[in-house]
């Protein structure tokens, strides 16, 4: 067994030396092309959705009492919807061309040029993602306030 | 629809971004307050980190959007395009962090639940302990109240029995297994003539007159556990004897061993005396009836004997032998008639004349007749007659006979001592219902063994021919006739010394007729 171990070490050192002395094409750094950013962002959305779904399920499973935890579940639902809308919006940006957005006299006059396709409509409505995120944060606010008040009542008792 | 303006979306984006920042920081504030309020609560800690990451994400994203809108509205598209990847990168990073924090919650919550479970268990145990403590407290309070009530009851009971023990007019005693007295009430000590302040160490052996009585008492106590209505004689401190009615109960311990006894004794000496007097009264009454019958029957033949002897005396002059014999017959017959007359007086056959009498005057008259004779025998007479003595109703002659009898008896008692003192006194009873006349001498007194017989007819200690034995019997009958009583005291208790001395005192107690303001001179 001692002889065998010594042989393996020798082979490993020899291989490392060959790789260092005779580099044919170094792959030490991977280059990141333009779509990688959006892929990572979309994966982050999926990761966030998963985390929120888990949180929602676990809160239901744990049966924490009080309004605060129900508000937190509603936050999770709204945030999941927001993530879906945002994910869809980012996906639509890949479908919509730059020429589909017309700007005549400044940014405020920007519009989606016709003809209006379903993709353009979806893209347009995904621009209103705050209609989900703002209620989500509002529910989170209600959740935290409710939990705090309940905690104060328990302390008083 | 040919076109869709983007300004509503941009406006919503700007307003929404601001609101997100506001709500995220409000949430973060409450999360901070929660952790501050309960720092040990894992859930609040998680929510605080979650809100903090969310606030960072909200700033990154919302500020990015606001900056974007501002730059694009102001026509600085190039600057935004340079800034956009950085803002997007931050957004991605913080969103990933937020997701990571949420996932981390999984492990944390398990630990928290374990702690919560333990805390719940501890809380439950603590609650049970508190409930138990409360129950114990309640029980303790109840116990204290119960002990207090019980102590009060015991105190009241102890006081009740202590009062019974102390105030009882009968003797109450406790003794141990060796019959040694452990405790005796004041009445008992007084009954036996001992001082309560310095009670002696007594054994039942010292109290019982007869050892046989004590043996029987002890045997019965052990055998039956009690005795009741046992009449025994106790010895007093001065050696005199009192007659006792005794009831006693044995005391046994939990093992059933005899540990002593407790008893109650009642002094029956006075009752016994009264019973003896009653028996004597009945005896005297029957004797009186018999004497009356005998006297009546003898009186007639005696009259015939006396008559014939007096007739014969006419035939035989004095100086002859027959004449002398007839004189003896006449004298002895007269003596017999006197005895018969006394017997009739004793049996109340003689007629009685009732009137208001001053006892002082009567005694003065009696002493006037007898004093000379007394003085001849060196007997001094002392008078102590009450000035406010009530009068009595009765037969003067009969009562005078009574006092002459007592004075004669005193005279004879002191005659042997060749002198003495005779005290004659009168007084009203405390309730003024009776008048008490006392004839007291310092003669030889009356022995105990004959005290019960002195009022019997024909009982006398005088030599033959000196007394008939009817004097006291007749006196007794007369006083009875006057609804009075005679008490005999011998030896006499000296007033000054409180000790008993030789002599005899006869107390004649007669019903008084005492009017308000009435005074009798002596």
**Which residue among A52, A114, A145 sits closest to B102, beta carbon to beta carbon?**
A52
Over residues B322-344, mean pLDDT: 84
- Domain co-membership, B184 together with B245: yes
**Which residue among B16, B29, B75 sits closest to A130, beta carbon to beta carbon?**
B16
> Given the structure tokens 């909200």, which residue do they identify?
B58
Task: Judge whether B242 and B233 are in contact, CB under 8 Å.
Answer: yes
pLDDT single digits (tens) B99-153? 888 887 767 767 777 777 887 888 888 889 999 999 998 888 888 888 999 999 9
Residue that terminates a domain, selected from B218, B248, B267: B267
Task: Judge whether B285 and B254 are in contact, CB under 8 Å.
Answer: no
Q: What is the pLDDT of residue B517?
A: 45
Per the CB < 8 Å rule, is A130 touching B98? no
Q: Where are the domains of chain A?
A: 39-156
- Taking residue B194's Cβ as centre, other Cβ atoms within 10 Å add up to 17
Per the CB < 8 Å rule, is A112 touching B24? no
**Which residue among A37, A133, A144 sits closest to B31, beta carbon to beta carbon?**
A144
Per the CB < 8 Å rule, is A50 touching B99? yes
Q: What is the pLDDT of residue A84?
A: 95
pLDDT single digits (tens) A5-20? 556 778 888 888 876 7
- What's the domain count of chain B? 4
Per the CB < 8 Å rule, is A44 touching B12? no
pLDDT single digits (tens) A76-96? 999 999 999 999 998 988 888
- Domain co-membership, B181 together with B296: no
CA B340 to chain centre: 58
In angstroms, what separates the C-alpha of B64 from chain A's closest C-alpha?
Answer: 14
In sequence order, what are the beta bridge partners of B241?
B235
Give the pLDDT band (50/70/90) at residue A1: very low
Pick the residue of B59, B102, B110, B111 with the most A CBs within 10 A to test the interface with A by mutation: B102
In angstroms, what separates the C-alpha of B85 from chain A's closest C-alpha?
Answer: 8
Residue B309's domain comprises 273-346
In sequence order, what are the beta bridge partners of B489?
B505
Q: What is the pLDDT of residue A32?
A: 67
Assess A107–B contact: CB distance below 8 Å, yes or no: yes
Q: What is the pLDDT of residue A23?
A: 59
Question: Residue B1: inside a domain, yes or no?
Answer: no
Task: Judge whether B173 and B155 are in contact, CB under 8 Å.
Answer: no
* pLDDT, chain A, mean: 84
Over residues B150-175, mean pLDDT: 89
Give the pLDDT band (50/70/90) at residue B520: very low
In angstroms, what separates the C-alpha of A28 from chain B's closest C-alpha?
Answer: 23
Global ipTM? 0.80
Cis amide prior to B491 (ω within 30 degrees): yes
d(CA B288, CA B343): 8
Q: Is the dihedral of CA B207, B213, B219, B222 positive or negative?
A: negative
pLDDT single digits (tens) A114-135? 788 888 889 999 989 999 999 9
Q: What is the pLDDT of residue B467?
A: 66
pLDDT score of B477 more than 50? yes
- Domain co-membership, B332 together with B376: no
d(CA B194, CA B200): 7
pLDDT score of B289 more than 80? no
Q: What is the pLDDT of residue B311?
A: 86
Q: Could you give phi then psi for residue A11, rounded to 5 degrees? A: -65, -40
- Domain co-membership, B215 together with B128: no
CATH number assigned to the domain comprising residue B429: 3.30.565.10
- Domain co-membership, B117 together with B211: no
- Domain co-membership, B373 together with B494: yes
Residue that terminates a domain, selected from B295, B312, B346: B346
Q: What is the pLDDT of residue B521?
A: 34
Tokens of A142: 């209600």
- A 35-54 residues with CB < 8 A to B: 37, 40-41, 44-45, 47-48, 50-52, 54
Per the CB < 8 Å rule, is B6 touching A147? no
Assess A115–B contact: CB distance below 8 Å, yes or no: yes
Number of CB pairs < 8 Å for A and B?
150
**Which residue among A52, A107, A112 sits closest to B73, beta carbon to beta carbon?**
A107
Contacts for B108 with CB less than 8 Å, ≥ 6 apart: B42, B45, B46
Task: Judge whether A102 and A61 are in contact, CB under 8 Å.
Answer: no
**Which residue among B16, B47, B51 sits closest to A134, beta carbon to beta carbon?**
B16
Question: Residue B207: inside a domain, yes or no?
Answer: yes
Quote the percentage of chain B above a pLDDT of 90. 21
Assess A147–B contact: CB distance below 8 Å, yes or no: yes
Q: Which residue from B512, B503, B449, B506 is spatially nearest to B476, judged by alpha carbons?
A: B506
Count CA within 13 A, CB hemisphere, residue B361. 11
- A 79-98 residues with CB < 8 A to B: none
Question: Residue B423: inside a domain, yes or no?
Answer: yes
Higher-confidence residue: B343 or B331?
B331
Chain B partners within 8 Å of A143 (Cβ): 27
Cα angle for residues B486, B407, B281 (degrees, 5° grid): 25
Q: What is the pLDDT of residue B32?
A: 94
- Domain co-membership, B238 together with B305: no
Assess A7–B contact: CB distance below 8 Å, yes or no: no
Q: What is the pLDDT of residue B7?
A: 86
pLDDT single digits (tens) B393-438? 998 888 888 898 899 888 888 887 778 899 999 999 988 899 999 9
Residue that terminates a domain, selected from B267, B285, B305: B267
pLDDT score of A136 more than 90? yes
- Domain co-membership, B263 together with B286: no
pLDDT score of A146 more than 90? yes
* pLDDT, chain B, mean: 85
Q: Which residue from B62, B72, B80 is spatially nearest to B25, judged by alpha carbons?
A: B62
Chain B partners within 8 Å of A109 (Cβ): 5, 7
- Domain co-membership, B432 together with B336: no
Task: Judge whether B195 and B186 are in contact, CB under 8 Å.
Answer: no
Per the CB < 8 Å rule, is B12 touching A113? no
Strand B420-428 vs strand B379-384: parallel, antiparallel, or unpaired?
parallel
Higher-confidence residue: B412 or B19?
B19
Q: What is the pLDDT of residue A82?
A: 95
Over residues A61-88, mean pLDDT: 91
Assess A134–B contact: CB distance below 8 Å, yes or no: yes
Longest alpha-carbon distance in chain B: 206
């Amino acid at each position: 067994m001692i002889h065998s171990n010594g042989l393996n070490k020798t082979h490993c050192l020899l291989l490392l030396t060959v790789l260092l002395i005779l580099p044919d094409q170094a792959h030490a750094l991977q280059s990141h092309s333009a779509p990688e950013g959006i892929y990572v962002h979309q994966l982050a959305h999926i990761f966030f959705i998963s985390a929120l779904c888990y949180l929602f399920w676990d809160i239901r499973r744990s049966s924490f009492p009080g309004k605060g935890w129900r508000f937190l579940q509603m936050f999770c639902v709204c945030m999941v919807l927001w993530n879906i809308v945002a994910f869809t919006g980012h996906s639509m940006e890949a479908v919509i061309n730059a020429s589909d957005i017309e700007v005549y006299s400044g940014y405020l006059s920007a519009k989606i040029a016709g003809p209006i396709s379903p993709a353009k409509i979806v893209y347009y409505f995904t621009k209103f993602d705050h209609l989900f995120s703002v209620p989500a944060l509002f529910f989170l606010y209600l959740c935290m306030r409710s939990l705090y008040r309940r905690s104060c009542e328990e302390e008083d008792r | 629809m040919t076109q869709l303006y983007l300004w509503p979306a941009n406006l919503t984006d700007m307003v929404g971004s601001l609101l997100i920042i506001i709500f995220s920081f409000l949430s973060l504030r409450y999360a901070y307050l929660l952790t501050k309020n309960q720092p040990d609560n894992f859930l609040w800690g998680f929510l605080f980190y979650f809100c903090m990451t969310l606030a960072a994400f909200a700033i990154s994203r919302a500020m990015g959007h606001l900056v974007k809108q501002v730059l694009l509205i102001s026509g600085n598209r190039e600057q935004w395009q340079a800034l956009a990847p950085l803002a997007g990168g931050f957004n991605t990073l913080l969103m990933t962090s937020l997701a990571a924090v949420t996932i981390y919650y999984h492990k944390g919550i398990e630990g928290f639940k374990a702690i919560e479970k333990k805390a719940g268990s501890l809380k439950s145990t603590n609650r049970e302990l508190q409930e138990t403590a409360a129950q114990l407290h309640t029980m303790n309070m109840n116990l204290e109240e119960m002990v207090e009530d019980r102590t009060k009851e015991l105190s009241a009971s102890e006081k009740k029995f202590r009062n019974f023990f102390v105030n009882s007019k009968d003797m109450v005693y406790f003794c141990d297994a060796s019959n040694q007295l452990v405790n005796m009430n004041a009445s008992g000590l007084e009954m036996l003539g001992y001082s309560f302040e310095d009670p002696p160490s007594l054994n039942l052996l010292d109290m019982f007159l007869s050892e046989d009585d004590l043996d029987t008492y002890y045997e019965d106590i052990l055998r039956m556990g009690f005795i009741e209505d046992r009449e025994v004689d106790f010895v007093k401190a001065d050696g005199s004897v009192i007659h006792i009615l005794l009831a006693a109960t044995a005391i046994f311990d939990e093992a059933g061993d005899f540990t002593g006894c407790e008893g109650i004794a009642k002094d029956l000496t006075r009752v016994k005396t009264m019973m003896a007097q009653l028996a004597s009264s009945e005896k005297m009454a029957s004797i009186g009836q018999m004497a009356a019958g005998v006297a009546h029957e003898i009186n007639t033949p005696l009259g015939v004997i006396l008559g014939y002897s007096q007739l014969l005396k006419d035939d035989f002059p004095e100086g002859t032998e027959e004449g002398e014999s007839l004189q003896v017959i006449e004298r002895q017959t007269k003596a017999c008639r006197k005895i018969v007359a006394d017997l009739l007086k004793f049996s109340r056959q003689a007629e009685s004349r009732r009137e208001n009498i001053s006892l002082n005057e009567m005694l003065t008259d009696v002493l006037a007749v007898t004093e000379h004779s007394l003085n001849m025998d060196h007997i001094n007479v002392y008078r102590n007659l009450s000035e406010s003595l009530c009068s009595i109703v009765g037969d003067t002659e009969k009562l005078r006979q009574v006092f002459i009898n007592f004075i004669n008896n005193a005279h004879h008692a002191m005659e042997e001592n060749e002198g003495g003192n005779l005290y004659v006194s009168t007084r009203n009873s405390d309730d003024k219902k009776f008048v008490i006349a006392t004839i007291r001498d310092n003669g030889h007194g009356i022995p105990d063994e004959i005290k019960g017989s002195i009022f019997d007819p024909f009982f006398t200690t005088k030599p033959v021919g000196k007394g008939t034995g009817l004097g006291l019997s007749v006196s007794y009958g007369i006083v009875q006739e006057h609804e009075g009583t005679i008490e005999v005291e011998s030896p006499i208790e000296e007033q000054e010394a409180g000790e008993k001395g030789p002599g005899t005192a006869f107390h004649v107690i007669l019903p008084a007729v005492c009017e308000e303001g009435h005074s009798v001179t002596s």
